[in-house]
Structure 1
Amino acid sequence: MSGILALLNLDRAPIDSALLQKLTDTLAFRGPDAQSCWSEGAIGLAHTLLQTVSDTTGANQPLSLDGQLWISADVRLDRRAELIDRLEQTGSRLKLDPFTPDAALILYAYHTWGQDCLAHLWGDFSFTLWDSRQQVLFCARDQLGIKPFYYAQVGQTLICTNTLQSLRGHPLVSDQLNERAIADFLIFTINYDPATTSFADIQRLPPAHCLTLSLADPTVKVHRYWSLPCPEPIRYRCDQDYIYQLKTLLKLAVGDRLRTERVSLLLSGGMDSSSLAATATQGFPSTNLKAFTTVYDRLIPDQERYYASQVAQFLSLPIEFLIADDFKLYQDWSSHAPPQPHHNPRSIVSHQLYQLASHHSHVALYGEGGDEGFTVAFLLDLLHGMPWSPHLFTDLWRCWRYRARPGLGFQYYRNRYQNRLSLSSPTQQSPPFPAWLRSDLIQRLDLVDRWHQIHTIPKPEVYPFRPRAYNRLTFPLWGSVLENINPGFTGLPLEIRLPFLDLRLVEFLLALPPWPWCIHKKLLRLGMQDMLPPIITQRPKTALVADPIPLMQPALNLTEVISTASGLDRYVDLNELQTHLDDRNQSSARTWQTLRPVSLGLWFLDNFS
């Protein structure tokens, strides 16, 4: 979770050391273990370190191996041994210590392969690298966008960082809002453009992209260096081979994300987080593990306390519960105010859970990504474009053997086509178009057309074998999910790691025959039979029984928020919004939608009051 920053003067003017130090100070919350900056001529780099690994030495940055290449990186690499072997086999006579820091490995990779080094890097990373020989700044963000990266080119200066608030600390970066991003937030809850932010001056480097700028040609160049592959379907003769491969890859993914003496586990009673807990406790018994679980004892009929306790007892795992019944909507919002508009009226719950986890360790494992990798295919997918397979009868026989019944998909496709048929009436679509948006905003940005584009135009089926799984893994919502658990968003010294988004595991899951292995995560359940109690491996996937938001009391006066939030009336018809806020008979989905402008209003109050 280290903080990184680069400051480059395109007119070759010397770096203002006081400004560099000021911007470095804005990163201090991300790295309490060390703070340093370096500058030479027109370039300055800064880094604040949170020590999250115990198997490397000399990790302080900005780092240079030869005085020519300098790096500031927020990085955790997978497949380190494989990368070291490749580097040592290049003929450069390198002999690398297995404890070489990840940032140093990136420098060695760049020295060996130049900008093509990205083809040899796996893991979670964002970095800025200065090549003084070529006078080039080279930056990159990991393949799935686990680590964020932002930049702004203002005047004759380029600023790059993984912390949006640091960019706002530069005197040339304005507070002018990106109207399109704000509108996207109000309509969809997220900004669908992965290259922009809520601020007009600040851009976002999309996942799997790199940025270069040469002082000889001071133009920012951004290009994609990787795309999610479309692997050939896996066909093993023996069912146990599927189970063995899954468990092997899951152990590698978890092991690469431990690398420290103490780790927190964000545990529910579901299969994904429970599988991570089992793999970590049984595969790495020397790691000091502790689980943290959010529970509702009274507000809703929640069973997570029971199931999480079963997992913890079976694994002899200490567990701490966060009881969420008495929290209020928007409670203590200003204490964890987000850097960009964010819609989660009960964010206090996740913030408190992360805070508890951070007291045990600076690293936590989280089960996000499992649902996407195990996305099942419907029988109707065969008719809709999924290729027929000569192995179909074998797959159906396995379904019979494991009592896994493929879904027909009628409901999914009916909803999909109903939305496409309702193009002329967005208020009849599900979810409906917000009725409280200002009419002039709708017309100026052509928001009804944008609504149609996002909700009704079919996504291209890049990977016909598992189209919906592929689309879910590349969905723009991922960017929002990943940013929301990053320390730059939470403000907490906690790096949340996602083993199910390990690229080795992602590619394996995409290549799985969906029947029977992805039906109710059948393969994961079979693989965990000897590692988890039957009450967990046989438990159906279960969402919250009820939505707690309509049952929670607000911690503040919502009418006062929308009336005092300066600028909110540029986007929202406040009278219409008040009518919706007063409606106590709204569905949970409508309540969620109606509260979006309130979340935006609170963000305005925190940032522009």
Structure 2
Amino acid sequence: MCGITGFAERSHDAETARKIVKGMADLIAYRGPDGEGYYVDDQVALGHRRLSIIDLEGGKQPMFNEDGNLVVIFNGEIYNFQDLRAELVSAGHTFATKSDTEVLLHGYEQWGKELPARLRGMFTFVIWDRASHTMFGARDIFGIKPFYYYNVDGLFLFGSEIKSFLAHPGFKKELNEERLPEYLSIEYIPNEETMFRNVFKLPGAHMFTWKDGRMTVERYYDIQYHVDESKSLQEWEKIITDTFSESVAAHQIADVEVGCFLSSGVDSSFVVNEVAKGTPHVKSFSVGYAEEKYSELPYAQEFSREIGVPSIANQVDADQFFEANRVIQWYLDEPMPNPAEVPLYFLAQNARKYVKVVLSGEGADELFGGYPMYCQAVHFMDYERKVPKPLRKCAGKIARKLPEGFKGKHFLVRGSQEPWQRYLRANYVFADPAERDRYLKKDYHSPRPETFFKPYFDKVSGLDEPTQLQWVDMHTWMLYDILLKADRMSMANSLELRVPFLDREMLDVALSIPQRYRSGKEETKIALRGAALKQLPESVAHRKKLGFPVPLNDWLREDKYYNMVREKFTGPVAEQFFNTGELLRLLDDHKAGRAKNMTKIWSFYSFILWYELYFVNSAPPAGVYGK
């Protein structure tokens, strides 16, 4: 696991370019504190920071092929590299190291642009062909590992994190202000754009080619459902168990100790239990709060005792939470107001004292149907099956005129809409964009947030609604929220996080399972829970998902933390973008108990902290690695 960065242009002075690319890599040094390496010629500069996991001595980067024509930098792990290596040796290739990195070089020689589709793992990589002056790169199918780029006026910048671009004098740093409304509604921008103008995300399952200033982006893999109705639920449970066991084994390949994150839920418990079969004393790591009603620690520690694995836990208090949030907004690159990132940061920080690699349960909900809104979608699916569309439209029109307390009003209204219009994540923070816009000083003429998700729904319009939601979540929520914070919070602490549910083989199983075995009207992850029930204590297999709950709702009512937020809500950044009177009303209503505004407050507060760091101070805060 590493950090990569670099740039390309028609020509430059190599000595100057070397200094620049080193400065870029230094800004993400925490991603790879074990070593650094650079390649520079008169057109390209490549930088690499290494966290040594496999082939500790021989895996240094940048790495070259035999004749020195190809040079690669790589972030991630290739879990099938040994199989690919054997295939390439049979084809006549000679290997100089035992690392998975070298497979990329010889694989590109052998297969060219077909290479990414052959890889099983989490990765981003860049290969520079010195002879053809062509750069090629790709991102794994899920987007577990990040990749950003900037291609303006002949300058092509790329990196694992946007902040590395700040060290290049040609980078024009601008706020992508038109996307502020979407950020406030959704918590992230649900497409390739970022909060920096002209900086884009390379989507998961995509590759790119850069040559002579021109960049082309292509999809190399498409997630498509191929449901198999021939198997029973019990057969699917067995398939999940067997496939997951193999995936966990593959994700444990390392030349260093591997630990596990453990929360109270079935996903991480399934991971820990599987690892413990082959590694009885695997270390598990959990995080919680002194406020017990928000803490997952009692459940996690009880489970650890039951299966006999060491449990290492830490607690986070309010002072730590608020102090860390400023540093966290720097690590994130873009503002993100998901409070769960804070305990995740402290969890990774504690784990790094003991291990370099952890396995975690991310991705199980999206692949196997784990969110309550999938159950709601089953109800809508049944409603649409039973009631003709004209009647649903009529019922929705009538229901809109009913008083707010009328039972069933919202179901009838939403039942008259299309799936993309009632997608809950589109209005995650503000149910009504008009309410959101009251806080903004400018009218951005932004479309309703759900319209950003319509293109995703259009691609899978032939699927049933719960399955549509899963597919859209895989390409938006999981990619831009779940995996982003998992990568940033682990790498901020120089810790490699692996996700065995997000594996090619596990995906193939998930895409085959009938919808009725994924989510019902009341139950989530039906087949996965069934598989877990055969392995885990029944109390764990049926435990509801908590998802890193935090006491922030309560803390914001305490004077100390209320005043912290109030100071920012009346400061110059708030004055620049927001109607501060409305912000204060929002905060005061929450403190007085007249409303629960935590999510909205934290969205504004996180943006203000982030903007101060990147556009006012333009420097890492105290506490960042290397400061």
TM-score between the two structures when normalised by the length of structure 1: 0.84
Residues 1:307 and 2:299 aligned together: yes
Cα displacement string for residues 427-461 of structure 1 (whole angstroms, at most 9, x for unaligned residues): 9x972336364688663x322x3335258999233
Percentage identity across aligned positions?
Answer: 21
User: How far off is 1:347 after superposition?
Assistant: 4.5
- The 1:172/1:497 distance shift into structure 2, 3 A limit, reads same
- The 1:525/1:167 distance shift into structure 2, 3 A limit, reads same
d(CA) in 2 for partners of 1:498, 1:470: 18
Match of 1:221?
Answer: 216
- The 1:586/1:499 distance shift into structure 2, 3 A limit, reads farther
- The 1:452/1:236 distance shift into structure 2, 3 A limit, reads closer
Match of 2:315?
Answer: 323
> Which residue, out of 127, 133, 137, partners 1:135?
133
Residues 1:512 and 2:510 aligned together: no
Match of 1:206?
Answer: 203
Counterpart secondary structure, 1:558 = helix
- The 1:417/1:579 distance shift into structure 2, 3 A limit, reads same
Residues 1:281 and 2:284 aligned together: no
d(CA) in 2 for partners of 1:128, 1:458: 28
User: How far off is 1:353 after superposition?
Assistant: 1.3
Counterpart secondary structure, 1:337 = helix
Match of 1:551?
Answer: 554
- The 1:258/1:471 distance shift into structure 2, 3 A limit, reads same
- The 1:360/1:312 distance shift into structure 2, 3 A limit, reads same
User: How far off is 1:505 after superposition?
Assistant: 0.6
Counterpart secondary structure, 1:137 = strand
> Which residue, out of 156, 161, 164, partners 2:162?
164
User: How far off is 1:117 after superposition?
Assistant: 1.3
> Which residue, out of 273, 276, 291, partners 2:284?
291
Match of 1:256?
Answer: 250
TM-score between the two structures when normalised by the length of structure 2: 0.82
Question: How does 1:93-242 map onto structure 2 within 5 Å?
Answer: 93-94=92-93, 100-193=98-191, 195-215=192-212, 218-233=213-228, 235-236=230-231, 240-242=234-236
Counterpart secondary structure, 2:337 = coil
Question: How does 1:477-488 map onto structure 2 within 5 Å?
Answer: 478-487=479-488
- The 1:366/1:43 distance shift into structure 2, 3 A limit, reads same
Counterpart secondary structure, 1:101 = coil
d(CA) in 1 for partners of 2:100, 2:412: 49
d(CA) in 2 for partners of 1:147, 1:546: 25
User: How far off is 1:557 after superposition?
Assistant: 2.0
Is contact 1:331–1:346 with CA below 8 Å preserved after alignment? no
d(CA) in 1 for partners of 2:524, 2:324: 38
d(CA) in 2 for partners of 1:48, 1:545: 30
Match of 2:530?
Answer: 526
User: How far off is 1:219 after superposition?
Assistant: 1.1
User: How far off is 1:141 after superposition?
Assistant: 1.2
Instruction: Point out where structure 2 has 5 or more consecutive residues left out of the alignment.
Output: 387-407, 618-627
d(CA) in 1 for partners of 2:243, 2:95: 25
Cα displacement string for residues 508-539 of structure 1 (whole angstroms, at most 9, x for unaligned residues): 112112334654434333333453223323x3
User: How far off is 1:25 after superposition?
Assistant: 2.3
Match of 2:405?
Answer: none
Residues 1:580 and 2:572 aligned together: no
d(CA) in 2 for partners of 1:414, 1:455: 22
Counterpart secondary structure, 1:133 = coil
- The 1:122/1:268 distance shift into structure 2, 3 A limit, reads same
Instruction: Report the residue type matching 1:87 in the other structure.
Output: L
Match of 1:334?
Answer: 326
d(CA) in 2 for partners of 1:505, 1:44: 37
d(CA) in 2 for partners of 1:415, 1:250: 40
- The 1:453/1:132 distance shift into structure 2, 3 A limit, reads same
d(CA) in 2 for partners of 1:162, 1:545: 26
d(CA) in 1 for partners of 2:265, 2:588: 36
Match of 2:47?
Answer: 46
d(CA) in 1 for partners of 2:409, 2:364: 23
Is contact 2:261–2:285 with CA below 8 Å preserved after alignment? yes
Counterpart secondary structure, 1:541 = coil
Is contact 1:33–1:50 with CA below 8 Å preserved after alignment? yes
Cα displacement string for residues 523-570 of structure 1 (whole angstroms, at most 9, x for unaligned residues): 333333453223323x3424379862211145452221122243x334
Counterpart secondary structure, 1:129 = strand
Match of 2:393?
Answer: none
Match of 2:577?
Answer: 571
Residues 1:267 and 2:262 aligned together: yes
- The 1:385/1:294 distance shift into structure 2, 3 A limit, reads farther
Cα displacement string for residues 142-164 of structure 1 (whole angstroms, at most 9, x for unaligned residues): 11111111122344432211121
User: How far off is 1:41 after superposition?
Assistant: 2.5
Q: How many residues align?
A: 567
Is contact 2:142–2:204 with CA below 8 Å preserved after alignment? yes
Instruction: Point out where structure 1 has 5 or more consecutive residues left out of the alignment.
Output: 387-409
